[in-house]
Structure 1
Amino acid sequence: MAETVLSMARSMLGGAISKAASAAAEEMSLLMGVRKDIWFIKDELATMQAFLEAAEAMKEKDMLLKVWAEQVRDLSYNIEDCLGEFMVHVASQSLSRKLMKLKDRHRIAIQIRDLKSRVEEVSSRNTRYNLIKTESSRTIDQADSYMEDVRNHSASNLDEAELVGFSKPKSELIKLMDVNNTQDDLAKVICVVGMGGLGKTTLARKIYESKEDIVKRFDCCAWITVSQSFFKMDMLKDMIKQLLGGESLKKCLSELGGKALRVEDLAKFLVEELKDQRYFVVLDDLWTIDAWSWIKYIVFPSSNKKGSRIVVTTRDLGVANQITLESLIYHLEPLELVDATNLLLRKSRKTHEDMKKVENFKDILERLVKKCGHLPLALLTIGGILATRKIAEWGLVYNQLPSELETNISLQAMRRIVTLSYNHLPSHLKSCFLYLSIFPEDFEIKRSLVERWIAEEFVRAKDGMHIQDVGISYFIELINRSMIQPSKLNIEGSIKSCRVHDIMRDVMISIAKEENFVCLAGDDVTSAEDSFRHVAYQGSKCQNIGIDWSHSNGVRIPKGFSNLKVLHVLEVVDVKRTSSKAIKELGDLMRLSKLRLVTAGATQQKCKILCEAIEKLSALLSLRVEAGNWISSFGKLDWLHFVSSPPPHMKSLKLNGFLGEMPDWIGSLMHLVSIHLEASKLKGGKTMELLGTLPNLMLLGFHRYAFAGEKLVFAEGAFQNLRKLDFDRSMELKEVRFEEGTSPRIEKIQFRVCRLESGIIGVKHLPKLNEIAIGYLGEVAKLGALHGEVNAHPNHPVLLLECHWSHHDLGDVVHRSTTSVQSGGAMEGEESSLHPDFAVAGECSSSQAVAVTPEGGRSDS
């Protein structure tokens, strides 16, 4: 019996071995054939991409070519997807894994052979219809006419708020607002009307930011972007935060006693809190009277007679007429000839001297200004094109502008302007530009967008350039061409985020849809949906879609990670869950420029290995290490003392965890620009000695128990380049003192959640100081003495108090006649805003911020 069972087992095993061998042979044969086809379609893909770039200039003139180009583009998308799947399921797998997924291999092989067949059919179609033709004359649309020397120019960063020609409209609008008339004055609504591209938002922003003329006359202020589609709940939350303070929303929720939050609850709370406040609100980009009706009746208290003001920007005069009196409508007109000419010269990087030197330059310049209809957006857009052209080519640009702008300033003509700008983009920027259509209307897009471009393979590596830097140069070039608008700057003045003008976005979405590049949820797409390269879900369709990483400790990286030799950004790595070998391999990522780690729960041995890996990262520019978060208890980072030679070019350092003492190697970071410390429990002496010697340090942030001493002294000769100092939740700190000769370039100091029982001393020694902000739950003793120093300061800094003056120990120096009520500016760490996005950071007894300024001085922070 045993022999029979053994014989059957041998027979079954032999059959299994034979079957496996047969499958292996079949797999190898299949793979050999597939690999040949892979090489073929790879070569074809490269040719397709080159063809699509060349066809871009001609397809608008040849309908047959346009149709064929669309077929080639769709096929190229399919090839890219197939190649990606092949790399995952075949090329990167061991033979045993390949055998286990034989079904996948067959499917991919069939797909590849089908693609090869389609490639051959597309090629024969060109032969049948003779679609590719050589043109004798070369047009301005062809790619090689672009002057790719923009890399030699720094970004012009022409902020719309600095546009020429806005002084007169600003003064006229201020006069229309009549802010000085407050006696029994109901809220007055002023409308700014004009087509897209005229600068309505720019004008409103200049008013909103005019603290010396406008904002200081109101108890609270808010800037609300309405747009075509807005969510009532989100808008109300935003208004509460800006008008009443960041903690007011929590107060509202607590009053509900755990009940579900409703729009009506937020509206009732807002109206009640505003009834005795003089408020100033800008409603930017209002589209419909229905939107206004809802905002007016559910948000603003009708009983308020404090002289409040509401400024509305809209492109619809009919809406404006229904909102307010005709006498309170400001019609924004195109720029005057001189202003329009100056703007075009600035954006195109030319001067009046060029007009004298180059023959006929003045004539073509005047014709271009006229054809742009004196519209700021059109001038900025065309100026971005002209900046990349020789003056001799400007006539060609002029001939392609829509003639409608001379006689009919229409939205359609403006769209043609934007479309022309898109057509003139170099091919490498077109995909980057169209990709922005995945973001919602009025969305603030961070510069980390560049990393998405890299992942999508839109960014092409260049010899001698970091691929991240190439991507950033794409970002800056789109700004230079006025295709996107800068929004926020970091402490160094670099652009950190951008927005897309709504007209630009309209054109962008239209082109992206036409080219099957992006499908927005809600578009009428059925069977064609599979052919889109990207599908974006926005608005109400995706309210419940998304993943919260806020409580995540990061990911475990696998062994073999060091094979990613060109990796530049790695975040967030969970050191506890990652093996010691994989941690050691981090040191082999010689091109890594940005690294974020979570070390909570990691062993001391792993952390020592991590120190050795960090020392090898010679290209690292940004390091963030977190040993704990708001959920877990404070963790330790004292293992960082084992680092002996840190990455030499590091510019940004963020550490969250116990250090006890500042590591010695911090003092060697000669390129460090910003440092944020949290839960570090540092003492004053060594910390300030090391940090004070760093020659390029511009931003210093102490957050949540970062500093454990009672007295912080900025010594003579220290912090020579520091621009901003930020304290948050420094609970043990009692005194901050600035000695003569310290911090000569510091501009802003802000405190939140702290009690400075001995005060802030020595601000008279800070010659560049322009703002001291005492934010949420911040208390300062000897405030009278501080105000005396501010009052006598030659730079006339402003003292912003989040809480009412009576909340502090004022002494007997400050007179209430020298204080004015003003909403506090946003305290956003290292970023500053180019867009009016002000918000009160907290709530005090008066739910307002006080700007304490010298007698008769200006409050212009």
Structure 2
Amino acid sequence: MATILDSLVGSCANKLKEIITEEVILILGIQEELAELQRKTELIHCCISDAEARRMEESAVDNWLGQLREVLYDVDDIIDLARFKGSILLTDHPSSSSRKSIACTGLSISTCFSNVQARHEVAMKIRSLNRKIENISKDRVFLTLKSTVPTGSSSVLRVRKSSHLLEPNIVGKEIIHAYRKMVDLVLEHKGRKLYKLAIVGTGGVGKTTLAQKIYNDRKIKGSFNKKAWVCVSKVYSEASLLRELLRIMEVHHDQDESIGELQSKLEIAIKETNFLLVLDDMWQSDAWENLLRIPLHAAETGTILITTRNNIVALEIGVDHTYRVDLMSTDVGWELLWKSMNISESIELQTLQDVGIEIVRKCGCLPLAIKVIARVLASKEQTENEWKKILSKNAWFMNNLLNDLRGVLYLSYDELPRHLKQCFLYCSVYPEDANIYRDDLTRMWIAEGFIEDHGGQLLEETADEYYYELIHQNLLQPDGLYYDHSSCKMHDLLRQLACYLSREECFVGNPESLVGNTVSKLRRVSVVTDKNMVMLPRMDEVQYKVRTWKTSYEKTLRVDNSFFKRFPYLRVLDLTNSFVPSIPGCIGNLIHLRLLDLDGTNSPSAITQLCNLRRLGLNYSPIYQVPKGIGKLEFLNDVEGFPVYGGCNEPYTEKDFSNIEKIFEQLIPPCNLEDLAIVKFFGRQYPFWIDSTHLAYVKSLHLFNCKFCMHLPPVGQLPNLKYLKIEGAAAVTIIGPEFAGHRASNLGRTVAFPKLEELLIRDMPNWEEWFFIDEATKGLMMEILSRLRRLELSGCPKLKALPRQLAQINSLKEIELRWASSLKVVENFPLLSEMLLIATCQALEKVSNLPQVRELRLQDCPNLRLVEDLSTLEQLWLYEDMHEVSTLWVPGLQQQCRQHHGEDLDIV
């Protein structure tokens, strides 16, 4: 039941209506056949809603829908074929485009025959589909269905991209207590050779949430040289697990290295260090016993934290402490429910409490289930009657679902609008615990045809809305590392639901196990295996109708001509890092292909024949010139990794600088752009369009290794900029008023960086001065960085001082200063409210007047002789190299802490 037929049949009917009058169809002369197909499709559409509602309980209806699904896929494919064949005729005979058909007068016999053959081929296929739909509409099941007027295309309420999303770690008091206790245990035993803890509990109870709180605790972060978090999962690859650990620890490794070689590198990486390793979602102990135990013993000290559903796993590993996460009490579950819905009115809470507690019981007091049902309830009126309607839904009592999937999880899916149901189910192509990146996922949704056209809105914009709505519904879990939640994961229970509902159409695993009869109904294949080389099984010459082929791991995939002949209906082909030795030219025959990712793989010139291609990914592909004819791909709007350089190592000439600047001046981005990254631009000045006029909607800006630009662009006037990261601006020596967009000609009050929340400046080897006001602008009234929460400066060895205007920012919570070896003083930040970190600042002599800072971290500041006026300091982190110099001022801080707090300062 993977495909939501209400969406598919509606999409087919709309496409048929649109293409009937297109020139490519008129030239084929098949309007009548298509009109008949449209009429029959719309007739079926009127009964789909009733059939979808009955399919879970009535096998006859489910079988009928299965037959219909196969035909509708063929209808969708015939539309592409008709356009393709018609476009060829139109290209060959452009003067005949206004006629309904082309006579053979004046044409060679072979040309005339090919034209007739093209029309006949398409017409016969359409007639065959008409007969199939007619037979389906005569089935006795169809005669029992209620006819309703199909609803129009749905739209999500709003785009939610960051702080307004539901926090994933709203938990009860029990979890808070356990978190604090386990942090204390970890810190108490961090000096042991190997200390092991386990968090045990059923699925969805909050094990990972608790582990995340421990892992992200500030005391924990500062206590270990190395930290890593890996998901082990029920089915895992030993080699992939080791590679992921090495990647997190920034250890280079080759793809073809054996497990023994990877273990040796891990052992060397952690030798004589202290580390924290989280092994999340362990189903068996062999990952520890056979894979990680021996190399991890090389560490001087280490802590292992595992989460598992099975207490036997913890016993086999030999943990020193186990914490069992039990189900919530109904009172705590009710509190989680109403907090997740942001209900605050006491009268409303009293009215809904009884039915709310009943819903919590129905959810089994599981936090995941409660959060999911909260989003269902939030879409209804907040009345007792509406909530009782949810309680009476048949979805609670579905008997033909797996035990773990009954009730609330299926209900949450069933209550989704149809356009989101299909998008949710598609996530099953990702393996368990995989990182799901928004841009990758939404591109595949578009390629599969799941995204509805909303007039003037780009399909990419609509797809983003769908993505954030699934996060808002708690069906996808956002990754907190990304400010815009552009990466997420899917809880294993929700993934199990998606996989179960998609079982006939989606295969995730080693394709070598596929045989002809199991492939016949498949539409999506995701390659997941621990083998280094994957060879497709020898199947018969039947053309299979798989639409998505996705590789999920770095494997060598053997692909020959027969692959593209057997899978001609592909719309998504993702061969990223699959090390395909060569792509045959017959890839150009894939007329349905919308998305092609060949990252790390060669690209044949035949890609220019992919008439429907929208997305082409070529990162790390050995390509050195533009394939001739690529400009004719009219739908191609997304090319990533395409080479625009000459490949030589010679120094840039004046002509090179001039040319690249002229090119960038013309690359004016669309006015609604939100994320912009400029990487390795080698001009000497930024393009004129980096201003408030052209980038009014930009929220995230990253300037990376633009090492020849002498000055930074005036980004302070971008009205919606929230995140700014500048790296490797090697030619910049001064950052002055121009960075904020201030000019002497400005009159009255000016505002710079009105919405900026994070500012990161890294690897600026020649940067010496930073100021917002000079002689020309000192008369201006300025408001600067009014919403800044976090400032990070790293790798700025010549920077002498921080601008005094930073002291006026009342929203500032964190400052991190690293490798600023000319900085002598950090003082007068009366509003900085949380944390100051200073590391490897050898010239630093004084830290003073930070009355609201609660946490101070210091490392490698050998000349720091004075630290004073930190009246609310609660924690002081001193690395070993600070112990000697800190004796000059720690006693004064201790005395100050006793005076203000009545207790000793917490020194770590």
Report the equivalent of 2:842: 781
Amino acid at match of 2:307: T
Match of residue 125 from structure 1 = 136
1:646 corresponds to which residue? 694
Q: Tell me whether 1:619 sits opposite 2:672 in the alignment.
A: yes
Query: Compared with structure 1, are the counterparts of its residues 765 and 47 closer, same or farther at alpha carbon in structure 2 (3 Å cutoff)?
Result: farther
Shift of 1:441: 1.5
1: CA distance, partners of 2:238 / 2:88: 49
Distance 1:595 1:571 in 2: 6
The structure-2 alpha-carbon separation of the partners of 1:654 and 1:349, relative to structure 1 and needing over 3 Å to count, comes to closer
Aligned to 2:91: 95
* Matching of residue 200 in structure 1 with residue 211 in structure 2: no
User: Residue 480 of structure 1 corresponds to which residue in structure 2?
Assistant: 472
CA, structure 1 residues 457+760, in 2 after alignment: closer, same or farther (shift >3 Å)?
farther
Deviations 1:175-230 (A, max 9, x none): 894742578x5533332221111111112222222334x55555543323211233
Q: Distance in 2 between matches of 1:526 and 1:568?
A: 30
Label 1:784 to 1:609 Cα distance change in 2 as closer, same or farther (>3 A): closer
The equivalent residue for 2:15 is: none
For 2:312, the equivalent position in structure 1 comes to: 318
Per-residue CA deviation, residues 650-696 of structure 1 (Å, 9 max, x unaligned), is: 44444453553447765653333344445544445565533363433
The correspondence of residues 674-689 of structure 1 with structure 2, limited to 5 A, is 674-678=723-727, 680-685=729-734, 688-689=737-738
For 2:18, the equivalent position in structure 1 comes to none
- SS of equivalent to 1:334: coil
The corresponding residue for 1:6 is none
Give 1:289-304 correspondences, 5 Å limit.
289-295=285-291, 297-301=293-297
Query: Take 1:117 and 1:281, find their aligned partners in 2: how far apart are those partners?
Result: 60
Q: Measure the CA separation in 2 of the matches of 1:100 and 1:452.
A: 38
Tell me the residue number matched to 1:829.
Answer: none
**Which residue number in structure 1 is paired with residue 449 of structure 2?**
457
Could you list the runs of 5+ residues in structure 1 that have no partner in the other structure? 1-26, 629-634, 823-843, 846-851
Alignment of structure 1 residues 766-805 onto 2, 5 Å:
767-768=831-832, 770-772=834-836, 779-785=840-846, 788-789=847-848, 792-799=850-857, 801=859, 805=860
| Contact persistence 1:34–1:112 (CA under 8 A) | yes
1:113 aligns with 2:124: yes
Q: In the alignment, is the contact (CA less than 8 A) between 2:823 and 2:843 conserved in 1?
A: yes
Q: Which shows bigger deviation, 125-134 or 69-78?
A: 125-134
Match of 1:544 in 2: 556
Of 366, 386, 390, the residue aligned with 1:393 is 386
C-alpha distance in structure 2 between counterparts of 1:101 and 1:431, whole Å:
44
Report the residue type matching 2:829 in the other structure: H
2:785 equivalent to 1:719? yes
Equivalent residue number for residue 371 of structure 1: 362
Amino acid aligned to 1:638: Q
**Matches of 2:40 and 2:186, distance apart in 1:** 68
Higher mean Cα deviation, 470-479 or 741-750?
741-750
Shift of the 592–67 alpha-carbon distance from structure 1 to 2, 3 Å rule, reads closer
1:79 paired residue number: 75
Relative to structure 1, the CA distance from residue 151 to residue 47 in structure 2 (aligned partners, 3 Å threshold; closer, same or farther) is farther
In structure 1, how many angstroms separate the alpha carbons of the residues matched to 2:271 and 2:481?
Answer: 36
* 1:9 paired residue number: none
| Pair 321,552 (structure 1): closer, same or farther in 2 beyond 3 Å | closer
Q: Secondary structure at the match of 2:480?
A: strand
- Map 1:343-492 onto structure 2 (within 5 A): 343-351=336-344, 353=346, 355=348, 358=351, 361-390=352-381, 391=383, 392-400=385-393, 412-448=403-439, 449-463=441-455, 465=457, 467-488=459-480, 490-491=482-483
Contact kept in structure 1, 2:510 and 2:527, CA below 8 Å: yes
Asked if structure 1 preserves the Cα contact closer than 8 Å seen for 2:428 and 2:506, the reply is no
Q: Give the Cα separation in 2 of the matches to 1:149 and 1:530.
A: 35
CA distance in 2, matches of 1:465, 1:525: 42
1:764–1:667 distance in 2 versus 1, CA, 3 Å? closer
**Partner residue of 2:55?**
59
Partners of 1:101 and 1:687 in 2: how far apart?
72
| Per-residue CA distance 1:96-150 (angstroms, 9 max, x = gap) | 28998976984685355234323323323332414243559x9xxx998999885
Q: Deviations over 1:578-631 (max 9, x none)?
A: 89x999x99x99x99999997646978876775564458433444444455xxx
Q: What secondary structure does 1:513 align onto? A: coil
Q: Kindly indicate whether the alpha-carbon contact (under 8 Å) linking 1:286 and 1:312 is maintained by their aligned counterparts in 2.
A: yes
- 8 Å CA contact 1:555–1:577 kept in 2: the answer is no
Aligned to 1:758: 822
Q: What RMSD in Å do the two structures reach over aligned CA positions?
A: 5.3
Paired AA for residue 841 in structure 2: V
The verdict on how the C-alpha distance between 1:666 and 1:568 changes in structure 2, with shifts beyond 3 A counting, is farther
Q: Which amino acid aligns with 1:533?
A: R
Matched residues in 2 for 1:517 and 1:102: separation?
A: 41
Give the aligned residue type for 2:556: N
Q: Which structure has more RCO (C-alpha within 8 Å, separation ≥ 6)?
A: 1
What displacement does 1:762 show?
3.7
1:486 CA drift (Å)? 1.3
CA contact (8 A) 1:521 1:535 kept: no
**SS of 1:75 mapped into structure 2:** helix
- Alignment CA distance shift 1:795-1:93 (3 Å): farther
Q: By how many angstroms is 1:535 displaced?
A: 1.9
1:334 lines up with 2:327 in the alignment: yes
| Residue pair 1:571, 1:597 contacting (<8 A) in 2 also | yes
Q: Distance in 1 between matches of 2:852 and 2:24?
A: 82
Distance change in 2, residues 1:84/1:146 (3 Å)? closer
For 1:737 and 1:679, the matched residues in 2 are separated by 19
TM-superposed deviation, 1:89: 4.1
For 1:506 and 1:458, the matched residues in 2 are separated by 21
* Higher share in helix: 1
When residues 86 and 740 of structure 1 are mapped into structure 2, their CA distance, relative to the original with a 3 A threshold, is same
Quick check: 2:807–2:831 contact (8 Å CA) kept in 1? no
Per the alignment, residue 234 of structure 2 pairs with: 228
Higher mean alpha-carbon deviation, 601-610 vs 88-97, is at 601-610
- Could you tell me how far 1:420 is from its partner in structure 2? 2.8
Q: Is the 8 A contact 2:671 2:696 kept in 1?
A: yes
Label 1:385 to 1:780 Cα distance change in 2 as closer, same or farther (>3 A). same
Quick check: 2:330–2:365 contact (8 Å CA) kept in 1? Answer: yes
- Letter of the structure 2 residue corresponding to residue 690 of structure 1: F
Per-residue CA deviations over 1:781-831 (Å, capped at 9, x if unaligned) read: 23452xx338x4422244365xxx3xx54444589x954459xxxxxxxxx
Instruction: Classify the secondary structure of the residue corresponding to 1:280.
Output: strand
Calculate percent identity across the aligned residue pairs. Answer: 20
5+ long unaligned stretches in structure 2: 1-22, 95-109, 535-552, 558-574, 578-597, 647-654, 742-751, 774-781, 869-874, 883-888, 895-903
Letter in 1 for 2:857: L
Report what 1:288 is aligned to: 284
Q: 1:488 is paired with a residue of what secondary structure?
A: coil
SS at match of 1:160: coil
Secondary structure at 1:638 match in 2 = coil
Does the C-alpha gap of structure 1 residues 413 and 82 become closer, same or farther in structure 2, counting only changes over 3 Å?
same
Deviation (angstroms), 1:341: 0.4
Structure 2 letter corresponding to 1:340? G
Matched, 1:709 2:767: yes
Which one of 30, 37, 50 corresponds to residue 34 of structure 1? 30
Shift in CA distance, 189/356, structure 1 to aligned 2, threshold 3 Å: closer
TM-superposed deviation, 1:381:
1.9
Q: CA deviation at 1:365?
A: 1.6
User: Is the 8 Å Cα contact of residues 683 and 708 (structure 1) preserved in structure 2?
Assistant: yes
